[in-house]
Every structure is written in C-alpha cells, then in structure tokens.
Amino acid sequence: MSRSRYIAGTVFRMLTLLAAVSVLSFVLVTSSPIDPLTAYIGTNSTLSQEARDEITEHWGLDDPPVERFTAWAGNFLKGDWGTSIAFKKPVKTVIKERFSYSVVLMLIAWTFSGVLGFLAGIFAAVRKGSLWDKAIKVFCLALQSAPTFWVGLLVLSLFAVQLGWFPIGLAAPMGKLAQDVTLEDRIWHLVLPSLTLGVLGISKITLYTRQKLIEIMDSGFILFAKARGEDTAQLVLRHGIRNIALPAVTVQFAAFSELFGGIALAESVFSYPGIGSALTTAGLSGDVPLLLGIAVFSAVFVFTGNLIANILYGLLDPRIKEGRADG
C-alpha cells in the first residue's frame, strides 16, 4: 500500500469515526431524562413562562431533533462549535481552558503508568512463579476490575483526609489569586489525581510486558545465548527489551482511550477543573453543544494517539515499512 493511500484511508476512517460519534452522542444526550431548561434556570426558579419560552427559543430546545443536529453539524463544519449552556461560553473556549489542565494531568499519569508498568512487567517476568510475580499479577488484576471513582476516593481519604499530606482537591489553593499561584502549588494539587489515573493504567502494560518477555525468555535464541554464558541481566537488556519495547509502545499509546474514559471520574472526585469535570457538568445539565464538542474532541484525541502508535511502530521497525511498501 502506498503512503498516499494509507494516509487517505486513515483520514477517511477518522471522518467516519467523527460522524458516528457525533450522531451517537446526540442521540444519547437528547434521549436523556434531564431537562436542559430546568438544569439551566434551576428547579426553584421563579421565572415567568414568557421568560422560559424565550430561553427555550434562544437555545432551540423545542426544535425537532433532526433539525437541531443538522443545524449543529452545519455550524460545526464552519468552525462554530456552539455555546455551552452550562458555562455560558463558546464550546471552543471551554474545551481550550479545561484541556490545558487535563493535558498536564493525562501526560503525567500516562508517563507514570507506562514507565512503572513496563519496569514492573520486566521484574515479574524475570521472577516468574515467585511470590513477587504472583503479588504483581494479583495487584494488576484487582486494578483492572476497580472503578476509577472508588480508587480516587480511596486515595483521597488516605493521603488527603487521614494523613493530610496533600490537598483535598482543586488545581490550586482555595482563595489564592491566580497570579499568586506558584508552580509548586500546581504540582502539589496534581499528585493525587495523576496518581489515581496512573495506577489504574499500570495493569495492562504490566501484564502485557510480563507475558511478552516470558515468551521471549523461553525462545530458542535465548537458550542459545544462555549456553554462551550470558546471565539474566544481559539476556533482558540485550534481547528482551529490544523485542518487547515496540509492542509496549503500541499498547501504551492505545491506552489513551482508557485514560480519557477515566479522567472524568477522577477529576470529579478531586474537583479538578479539567475537561473531564466539564463533561460531567455538561451531562448533568443536558448541555448538548458542549457534550458534542467534547465527544468529537476526545474522539480525535484518541484516534491521534492510536495513529501516532502506528506511525512510530512503522518508523522504528523496518519490517513494518517494508511490508507496507510491498503491499
């Protein structure tokens, strides 16, 4: 397959994905029992019926669903993502402001889970069958079944409430002016949410690395290397890591989707003002423009992560490039 055809196919898949995500998200949001008008003005509002009708007309809440989606899609293609009902700001502005917080959190958690998970997988594989290996497997399997919300509450209650080592939430000290917030303050408030996300992302890369390294260590060329006198450390460094690094990179980049899925709950637990907490707010208030904007944005983000993994795999492994060229 030529490079141009590969790029064209990738772009087509992304556009198809975005269209499907947009339609599905719109159907789910409009089917929600939450009334956007009630969420906007409050359940105890004393607004007159005329004022309610004006608000409903302004947001187009009474328009037929197909008409609302068509209008949104047309404006979206022109670069107008609409205005958030919950935040009273353009959707682009809300996503830009909130994502600037979330991207730091996700990068820290993603790096932490990737590095620690890779090292833990190697450690478990080298000590296959030992107590350490069994403990790591049990820990990883428990994490895979643990809800993000529960882990976040556990981390929060232990390190923030009982021990008091870290702040309970937010991205900066409460009551402190923005210009007075230091880098140390930002980092201190990032520790617990990034720890929660990072720990939850460790299990997959750990178990994958462990299994791959065990398969390599049981292969024929490893037995030959042992016969030449190479010890375990040399076998892992010279042969093991070289063969498991590329698949591990692919798995870690593919973990973007899970990271994006867990960030909403993690940010809600720690009251962190990122895109995940904005998504929760939009869902509870029936904010269709913001929900659709975040859904499309997250789909692009996840698709880009998977695409980067494929590109890196092709660049770093000559056999992949040769296979594409021959195809």
pLDDT at 91: 93
pLDDT greater than 50 at residue 325: no
Question: Mean pLDDT across the stretch 143-153?
Answer: 84
pLDDT greater than 50 at residue 327: no
User: What's the predicted TM-score (pTM) here?
Assistant: 0.77
Question: Mean pLDDT across the stretch 300-325?
Answer: 62
Three-state SS annotation for the chain:
CCHHHHHHHHHHHHHHHHHHHHHHHHHHHHCCCCCHHHHHHCCCCCCCHHHHHHHHHHHCCCCCHHHHHHHHHHHHHCCCCCECCCCCCEHHHHHHHHHHHHHHHHHHHHHHHHHHHHHHHHHHHHCCCCHHHHHHHHHHHHHHHCCHHHHHHHHHHHHHHHCCCCCCCCCCCCCCCHHHCCHHHHHHHHHHHHHHHHHHCHHHHHHHHHHHHHHHHCCHHHHHHHHCCCCHHHHHHHHHHHHHHHHHHHHHHHCHHHHHHHHHHHHHHCCCCCHHHHHHHHHHCCCHHHHHHHHHHHHHHHHHHHHHHHHHHHHHCHHHHHHHHHC
pLDDT greater than 90 at residue 93: yes
Output the furthest CA–CA distance in the chain (Å, rounded): 88
pLDDT at 1: 52
pLDDT greater than 60 at residue 326: no
Tens-place pLDDT, residues 72-86:
888 888 989 988 888
pLDDT at 212: 86
Indicate the residue type of 151. V
Question: Mean pLDDT across the stretch 181-194?
Answer: 87
pLDDT greater than 50 at residue 316: yes
Question: Mean pLDDT across the stretch 134-157?
Answer: 87
Query: Which among 117, 130, 147 is positioned nearest to 208, based on CA atoms?
Result: 117
Tens-place pLDDT, residues 206-237:
998 898 888 888 777 777 777 777 777 777 77
pLDDT at 320: 47
Contact 113, 255 (CB under 8 A): yes
Fold (topology level) of 91-326: MetI-like fold (1.10.3720)
Indicate the residue type of 205. I
Tens-place pLDDT, residues 235-248:
777 777 877 887 78
160 or 53, greater pLDDT: 160
Q: Where are the domains of the chain?
A: 91-326
Tens-place pLDDT, residues 249-303:
777 877 776 777 778 888 888 888 888 888 888 888 878 889 889 988 888 887 7
